[in-house]
Structure 1
Amino acid sequence: MLILGLICLRYNYLSVIMIKSSLEKDFKHLKHHKLLLAVSGGVDSMVLLHALYTLGFDILVAHCNFKLRGEDSDLDQKLVEEFCQNNRIPFESKNFELDLSKNIQLQARELRYKWFRTLLEKHNCKYITTAHHLNDKLETFFFNLSRGTGIDGLVSLQTLKGDVFRPLMGFTKAQILEYAKENQVIWREDKSNQSQKYSRNKIRHTLGVSFENLSEKAMENFDKSYMYISENKEYIDFKLTETLNFISKQVADEIRIDLQKLLALSDFEIRGIFSKYGFSSAFEIRKLALSKNNATMVSVSHKLIKYREEILLVPVENSEEKAETILIQNPLELQKILEESVFEDLLLDKLVFPLSIENYSSEDQLFLKPNHQRKKISKILKDRKLNDLHKQKVKILKDAKNRVILVLGIQTCANFSKKAYLNIERNLDFTS
């Protein structure tokens, strides 16, 4: 029993030393930056707060209060706030209201990270720092696996990913608990973590525990396998980027993909390329490629549009132009907007200011010859074989009398064009 006690004592001591030495050695370069530390009041985040503070890291603590557990939620905030006050650590907190009829966990995640990123910019912090650990990595692995994820979902938790930093990813929950006990770190238990109402909690208390108990090295070996899968993902991502570059070209905010090259790819390649844009079905993408012109697919972030021998991939926010109007008060302002040759061609004395740049309507038209041959703008765009996406981006210039002066980048109304009148004069000279 004495030997067993000494072994446990040594293990406890090593857990404390390992966590601090890892933070000090592996992330020493981050001491030159301010870190935004998300602290809930639970053992994981309180241990990370204690460790970073005692090691002299520059931190700003952020606490989210979702008011889901009544007084307990307020006591969580009080614990974190008092620790920060006692140790002169900058502290920010915010109360949130959730729609209880919707996915609470998803809402909470979206709201807190949106707020964190606001604080990140406001206080010039380097990273959002969280206390995710090795057991969280295992839990997320199985959770995403149960939902039919690809390789991205299997290794979604990384120590550093974008603006999120997770310095405890190499440590187990047991090691974090030992650190808390050895350093007398005070924390609060969230009773909802014991409930098996949520899938993550079920995995944590059943599958996670069973896996960890398989062998002494089960968690260590899992971490090693996770690293191997992550390396495979990096290589696959590199090759898929090469493939996308081969089959497409970038034009402004559009990626234009060659249909024949796309159809020659395997389902794995198609799914891998388009999954990061929100499209996971290779079958549906092939179906779109064989559809009629202007057929579309839409994800949360992007739109795919079939047009002739290409598929256009565009961000959703850019696929539909906002119906905003820009007013132009005088010729000087107009000159700054138009190309020099277009501006020089305008009969400025015929324009009635202020002018406006706006979306065209189905009734808007212009003259192809001075006071003759009126044609709808929609017909002009169709004749020029513009696809629906490009039509949505077309703007027109009107004057105060609501007359179309020109279609930006396409055509000037003959009634306001010097060249159009000059052509008439030349024709008259020729006939006379």
Structure 2
Amino acid sequence: MDLLTGFKIFIEKEQLFAPDQSLLLAVSGGLDSVVMAHLFKAAGFRFAIAHCNFQLREAESVRDESFVKTLADVLQVPFHHIRFDTLTYTESKRVSIQVAARELRYEWLEETRTKAGYSFIVTAHHMQDSVETLLMNLSKGTGISGLHGILPAQGKIIRPLLFAQKEDLLAYAQENGISYVEDSSNLTTKYTRNFFRHKVIPVMQEANPGTVPNIAASIARFREAEVLYQQALEKHVRRLVEQKGNMYMVPVLKLQKTIPMQTVAWEIFRKYGCTPPQLPQVLELLDSTSGKIVETATHRIIRDRQWLLITPLVETEAAVIVIEKDRSVVATANGILRLRTVVRKEQTPIPASAAIACLDKASLQYPLLLRRWRQGDYFYPLGMRKKKKLSRFFIDQKLSVPQKENIWVLESSKRVVWIVGLRIDDRFKVTQHTKDQLTIEWEAL
């Protein structure tokens, strides 16, 4: 089968785009992307060419830009181009040159696609690129999702050359007299991908010349296996994860009895910012006491009795956090509330700590609301019969502006119950008639 025929078959098989859609091709000037542009022209598809000049190789970068512009003229298609100050971006964002180039490239391509009305961005990744990605993922450690290599379609990006080997593209260029330019940076092995391309895969091919197509065939099977894996995983997630508002609850006992427990736990908690090194810490919560916490980049995972509670760090940015009657832990970015109900006994002392609120539960109306204080809020300070504005109370307490900005109030039926960590409202205090006492402890972080 010739390359053009295989190209058309792959596009149809993967349903990458409709024949009448217009596409934006990312073309560097190298063999892969230039051959891709010629294939699109030969197949009669509608497309434009886009080129990024990262200004990293001086005269060579200018040469590439000029070459791609000429290619667009020859193929009689629209040409979009841009020049980036990549080094400045690298310094300002504190990222590697590779990361900077990738971020700049895809952001501009998407912006161009949207403004000009193209259906998809098209890149020239081929079979060997996908194999390299798989091997790189394996070397770093990966779950099953790292075994599918480069996908033919992801969002608005499609890759119609994944069926082809590098040697197929080279042969097509030679047979059709297609010229292209060489990027000197592709020859260095200081970049991870180039190391695998020039050092790892050639050694593997010495042992087995069919390494690339054989691994590519395995990638196709891995993609199908991943579908089955996700189907089984979804059943576990439905059984184990319960959502209440912006909080997720995982029953400890059920998770401990799940087989395979570590794999399922990883797939659950990684969605909430958990990294591989943090997973053992999360699993330790299964055997810990209530109140223990593991904090990820985006969430807190809290052991609370028979549950693991997953709460977002951004919860503090919400206008209101709703606290239902059975909720026992509320995590915020600057502290944690722990709530428990006890039967009141006359001899039980009331803690003197301002970080602990002891309230008459019967006087409360649920749900309680936890929110930032607002101008105009008032309460009746414990031991006083007159109301006082919170702003005045804060002045009396000599709180700084940053301290005031971090104040939470607990509210019941539009009445302030507690200025968290400072003073409760006299109307909700424990009395001799109190039967059930709600004790709330504030742990500042």
| Counterpart for residue 59 of structure 2 | 71
Whether the 8 Å contact between 1:134 and 1:223 is mirrored in structure 2 is: yes
Distance 1:102 1:85, change over 3 A: same
Rate the CA distance shift 1:21–1:238 in 2: closer, same or farther, 3 A: closer
Q: 1:283 aligned to 280, 285, 293, which one?
A: 280
SS state at 2:18 partner: helix
Write the distance in 2 (CA, Å) between the matches of 1:201 and 1:165.
Answer: 23
Identity %: 27
Deviation at 1:404, TM superposition (A): 5.9
Distance change in 2, residues 1:256/1:194 (3 Å): same
Asked if 1:241 is matched to 2:234, the reply is yes
One of 76, 80, 90 as aligned partner of 1:91: 80
Match of 1:297 in 2: 295
> Letter of the aligned partner of 1:398 in structure 2?
Q
After the TM superposition, which residues 202-213 of structure 1 pair with which residues of structure 2 at under 5 Å, given as runs? 202-212=195-205
Alignment correspondent of 1:427: none
Q: Aligned partners of 1:393, 1:88: CA distance in 2, in Å?
A: 59
Would the aligned equivalents of 1:158 and 1:166 in 2 still touch at CA under 8 Å? yes
Give how far 1:172 is off.
0.4
Q: 2:256 corresponds to which residue?
A: 263
Aligned to 1:44: 32
Letter in 2 for 1:91: H
- The answer as to whether partners of 2:86 and 2:97 remain within 8 angstroms in 1 is no
1:220: how far off? 2.8
Residue 141 of structure 2 aligns to a residue whose secondary structure is coil
SS at match of 1:121: helix
**1:232 equivalent in structure 2:** 225
Question: What is the Cα deviation at residue 46 of structure 1?
Answer: 1.4
The two structures, once aligned, show a CA RMSD in angstroms of 4.0
Q: Distance in 1 between matches of 2:14 and 2:175?
A: 22
For structure 1, the residue ranges without an aligned partner over 5 or more in a row are 1-10, 325-336, 338-358, 363-375, 385-389, 416-432
TM-superposed deviation, 1:191? 0.7
In structure 1, distance between residues paired with 2:186 and 2:96 = 16
Q: 1:124-154 CA deviation, whole Å, 9 max, x = no partner?
A: 4433321111111111111111112222222
Q: 1:179 aligns to what SS in structure 2?
A: helix
Residue 23 of structure 1: CA displacement?
Answer: 4.2
For 1:381 and 1:156, locate their aligned partners in 2 and report how far apart those are by CA, in whole Å: 57
Deviations for 1:208-249, whole angstroms, at most 9, x for unmatched residues?
A: 123345556443322221111222222112211221111112
- Pair 1:15 & 2:10 matched: no
Q: Secondary structure at the match of 2:276?
A: coil
1 or 2, which has the higher helix percentage? 1
Secondary structure in 2 matching 1:81: helix
Mapped to 1, the partners of 2:262 and 2:29 lie a distance apart of 46
The structure-2 alpha-carbon separation of the partners of 1:202 and 1:256, relative to structure 1 and needing over 3 Å to count, comes to: same
* CA shift digits 1:35-77 (9 cap, x unpaired): 3322222111111122223323233433222221112122222
Amino acid at match of 1:267: Q
Distance 1:59 1:255 in 2: 46
Q: Distance between the aligned counterparts of 1:218 and 1:81, measured in 2?
A: 36
Paired residue for 2:415?
413
Q: What amino acid does structure 2 have at the position aligned with 1:412?
A: K
Q: Deviations over 1:324-363 (max 9, x none)?
A: 9xxxxxxxxxxxx9xxxxxxxxxxxxxxxxxxxxx9x99x
Asked whether the equivalents of residues 285 and 292 of structure 2 are also in contact (C-alpha less than 8 Å), the reply is: no
Alignment partner of 1:272 is 2:267: yes
Q: Tell me, yes or no, if the aligned pair for 2:289 and 2:305 is still in contact at 8 Å.
A: no
| Pairing 1:106-255 to 2, within 5 Å after superposition | 106-212=99-205, 214-215=207-208, 217-255=210-248
- Show the 5 A alignment for 1:327-406: 394-399=371-376, 403=389
The Cα of 1:307 is off from its aligned counterpart by 4.0
Change (3 A) 1:271 1:55: same
2:310 pairs, out of 288, 298, 313, with 313
What's the TM-score, normalizing by structure 2? 0.66
Deviation at 1:178, TM superposition (A): 1.5
In structure 2, runs of 5+ residues without a counterpart are 321-331, 336-352, 362-366, 379-387, 392-407, 418-445
Please give the alpha-carbon distance, in whole angstroms, between the structure 2 residues aligned to 1:177 and 1:381: 77
Task: Work out the CA distance in 2 between the residues paired with 1:107 and 1:392.
Answer: 44
Q: Deviations over 1:278-331 (max 9, x none)?
A: 4325422112342542623213x5543444443333555x34417x9xxxxxxx
AA at the equivalent of 2:237 = L
1:193 positional shift:
0.9
Number of aligned residue pairs: give it: 350
3-state SS, counterpart of residue 309 of structure 2:
strand
SS at match of 2:23: strand
* Residues 255, 40 of structure 1: alpha-carbon distance in 2 compared, 3 angstrom cutoff: farther
User: Shift of the alpha carbon at 1:122?
Assistant: 3.2
The DSSP-based 3-state class of the residue aligned with 1:31 is: coil
Q: Which has the larger strand fraction? A: 2
Change (3 A) 1:117 1:249: farther
- C-alpha spacing 1:24/1:412, structure 2 compared with 1 (3 Å): closer
The separation in 1 between residues aligned to 2:156 and 2:196, in whole angstroms, is 27
Task: Using the TM superposition, give the Cα deviation of residue 88 of structure 1 relative to its aligned residue in structure 2, in angstroms.
Answer: 3.0
Residues 407 and 148 from structure 1, CA distance in 2 versus in 1: closer, same or farther, beyond 3 angstroms?
Answer: closer
Rounded to whole Å, the distance in 2 between the matches of 1:110 and 1:381 is 53
Matched residue of 1:36: which SS?
Answer: strand
- C-alpha distance in 1 between matches for 2:311 and 2:120: 29
- Where 1:293 maps in the other structure, the secondary structure is coil
Question: Structure 2 counterpart of 1:297, which letter?
Answer: E
